[in-house]
Amino acid sequence: MGHRLTSGWGLYPTVTAHVHTARLPVHLKQLLAAGGTWLPQGNCRSYGDGCLAPQVVSMLALNHLLDFDPSRGTVRAQAGITLDDLLRFLVPRGWFLPVTPGTKFPTLGGCLAADVHGKNHHLDGTLRNFVEQLDMVLADGSEISCSPQDHPDLFRATLGGMGLTGIIYAATLRLRRIESAFIDMRSVRTGSLAEAVQVFSETHANYPYSVAWIDCLARGRQLGRAIVMLGDHAAPASDQPDRELTVHRSGSVSVPFFLPGPTLNRWTVKAFNTLYYHRQWRRDVRTRVHYDPFFYPLDAIGNWNRIYGRKGFLQYQFVIPFNNGMEVMTDILERIAARGAASFLAVLKTMGPQDGLLAFPMPGYTLALDIRRSDDSIIPFLRELNETVIAAGGRNYLAKDAIMPRDQFERMYPGLEEFRRIKRTVDPEGRFKSTQSARLGLS
Ligand SMILES: Cc1cc2nc3c(=O)[nH]c(=O)nc-3n(C[C@H](O)[C@H](O)[C@H](O)COP(=O)(O)OP(=O)(O)OC[C@H]3O[C@@H](n4cnc5c(N)ncnc54)[C@H](O)[C@@H]3O)c2cc1C
């Protein structure tokens, strides 16, 4: 057991926590038998306080692969395994994750608890659509396996349930077959938000993966100018599988210390964004790239969260329905640009239909922006933006949230009452609790 200062990836807020590392599955039961409130913790790649609590059980040492069935295309693994390690095993064998977030460092358990979405959400939905079974330890120490058929309520509430229904000890996933580790990528430079959205709608049926990097400091007619990236798994370019199914390399350059706060300001960020936007001269470029830079570009720089300085940053991610989404996104981008809330490129994506009680996605547009926390005046500003998101019928993503007040959360998530009902059944004493769940009235 250790006592340490913990934070999510945004470095805000921080919580001093007792961190207990479970090394054997039986430890989970022992910890629960000792009493008190708990939170399972993965690799703290959620940005806010969803992974924080005064007493956490780290799952990182429960990281073993338990079974792989190539005839069915499934893998069963302990929840503390990282996507990084899963890919190292799967890719050389011709398999890939069915859904992946934009970093390979989260754990499997963390991805299930946040029910992550990837660049293929518009076609494939979230990770839940590929889960066959969850093996869990509940608040009373009992073990239970759930699936869409067995204990479906628990299954529904746990995926996206942010660790509040019990500890996922292991999970079985259906995988995606690949013939090469490469992606046929097309990137299209667009002059405005409307043009980026147009590219999405024209190409969606043809590309399983799509995302746009927006220059959210460009204003006026250039507001929302973007590079739209589309992709699909490439066919092999040679008949030598060894050369085609190459796994990503380890190691990266790393930010060795916290940069002083003023290093990032509206001018430096603007310069970066402009350079990024102009790195592509032709409007429409087609290339073949490895999956690593395509899915995980930020992983190339270790500890990149330190560039925001010691005060950290907030990632603001919302989704809004398609109907008046363009006007709402334009309004929000204009307000962010006017405030000079220095953000590097923002990520825009379209989302498809989604099941789940605390599911974030809905058919519409999602935008994610990093905002430096120079001081706390940014918090009321973001809560004002939340009101615009709510009025448009949208919501914020729990895996990124550190500041949402309870009343806004309750107006965003229609499945909340059903989630609370199931939580009361499986955790009547409210033993699974995070800093976030206490703030949002979820535990
Ligand atoms: C650069 C970057 C890019 C990202 N891109 C995306 C993206 O494209 N799409 C997306 O959806 N997310 C994205 N994320 C967010 C990230 O995928 C999620 O926050 C994920 O939950 C992090 O997993 P973790 O293992 O670090 O879990 P943590 O951050 O430690 O915990 C997250 C939640 O999972 C719960 N949890 C962890 N392990 C277990 C377990 N074994 N049993 C039960 N509950 C558990 C915790 O209690 C907590 O509520 C991104 C994050 C970063 C840093």
In a domain, residue 141? The reply is yes
Q: Assess whether the C-beta atom of 361 lies below 6 angstroms from ligand 1.
A: no
Other Cβ atoms within 10 Å of 82 Cβ, number: 21
Instruction: Report how many domains make up the chain.
Output: 2
CB 97 within 8 A of CB 83: yes
Query: Ligand 1: which atom is nearest the Cα of residue 8?
Result: 29
H-only helix segments in 354-432:
378-391, 406-412, 416-426
Backbone angles phi, psi at 103, to 5 degrees: -145, 150
- Angle of CA points 409, 303, 279, to nearest 5°: 90
The β-bridge partners of 39 are 56
Cα separation of 325 and 331, whole Å? 10
Using pLDDT thresholds of 50, 70 and 90, give the confidence band for residue 263.
low
251 and 310 together in one domain:
yes
Q: Assess whether the C-beta atom of 11 lies below 6 angstroms from ligand 1.
A: no
For a ligand 1 pocket test, name from 37, 116, 315, 316 the mutation site with the most ligand atoms within 8 angstroms of its C-beta: 116
In a domain, residue 21? The reply is no
Question: Which of 154, 178, 202 is the last residue in one of the domains?
Answer: 178
Q: Assess whether the C-beta atom of 46 lies below 6 angstroms from ligand 1.
A: yes
Could you tell me which residue, 274 or 69, shows the higher pLDDT? 69
Cα separation of 114 and 218, whole Å? 32
Please state whether the peptide bond connecting residue 13 to the residue before it is cis, i.e. omega within 30 degrees of 0.
yes
CA of 425 to the centre of ligand 1 (A): 25
In a domain, residue 205? The reply is yes
Render pLDDT for 36-88 as a digit per residue (tens, 0 to 9).
999 999 999 999 999 999 999 999 999 999 999 999 999 999 999 999 999 99
* pTM of this prediction exceeds 0.85: yes
137 and 155 together in one domain:
yes
CA of 114 to the centre of ligand 1 (A): 6
Q: Assess whether the C-beta atom of 168 lies below 6 angstroms from ligand 1.
A: yes
In a domain, residue 373? The reply is yes
73 and 169 together in one domain:
yes
User: Minimal CA–CA distance to 184: which of 292, 291, 93, 276?
Assistant: 291
170 and 186 together in one domain:
no
191 and 119 together in one domain:
no
Question: What burial letters (b/e) apply to 83-101, b meaning 16+ CB within 10 Å?
Answer: bbbbbeebbeebbbbbbbb
215 and 335 together in one domain:
yes
Residue nearest to atom 53 of ligand 1 (CA): 45
Question: Which of 161, 178, 195 is the last residue in one of the domains?
Answer: 178
- Pair type for strands 95-96 and 74-78: unpaired
86 and 156 together in one domain:
yes
Coil, strand, or helix at residue 250? coil
User: Minimal CA–CA distance to 161: which of 20, 357, 294, 300?
Assistant: 357
Q: Check residue 261 and give its pLDDT.
A: 63
Question: Which of 139, 160, 178 is the last residue in one of the domains?
Answer: 178
CA of 107 to the centre of ligand 1 (A): 7
User: Minimal CA–CA distance to 55: which of 82, 32, 78?
Assistant: 32
CA of 399 to the centre of ligand 1 (A): 6
Q: Which residues, including other chains, have CB under 8 Å from residue 251's CB and lie 6 or more apart?
A: none
Residues spanned by the domain of 111:
65-178
CA of 335 to the centre of ligand 1 (A): 29
189 and 331 together in one domain:
yes
326 and 206 together in one domain:
yes
Question: What burial letters (b/e) apply to 371-410, b meaning 16+ CB within 10 Å?
Answer: bbbbeeebeeebeebbebbbebbbbbbbbbbbbbeeebbe
In a domain, residue 430? The reply is no
Render pLDDT for 353-383 as a digit per residue (tens, 0 to 9).
999 999 999 999 999 999 989 888 999 999 9
Q: Check residue 154 and give its pLDDT.
A: 98
Asked whether residue 252 carries a pLDDT value surpassing 70, the answer given is no
Please state the rounded mean pLDDT for residues 122-145: 97
225 and 330 together in one domain:
yes
224 and 329 together in one domain:
yes
Please state the rounded mean pLDDT for residues 281-288: 90
In a domain, residue 327? The reply is yes
- Kindly state the tokens that stand for 371: 């905002």
**What CATH number does the domain containing 144 carry?**
3.30.465.10
Please state the rounded mean pLDDT for residues 242-271: 75
Coil, strand, or helix at residue 33? helix
CA of 46 to the centre of ligand 1 (A): 5
Cα separation of 314 and 10, whole Å? 6
In a domain, residue 217? The reply is yes
From residue 156, how far is each of 112, 128, 146, 186, 382 by CA, in Å? 11, 9, 9, 36, 30
**What CATH number does the domain containing 362 carry?**
3.30.70.2520
In a domain, residue 10? The reply is no
Question: What percent of the chain has pLDDT above 70?
Answer: 96
User: How far is CA 377 from its chain centroid?
Assistant: 25
317 and 273 together in one domain:
yes
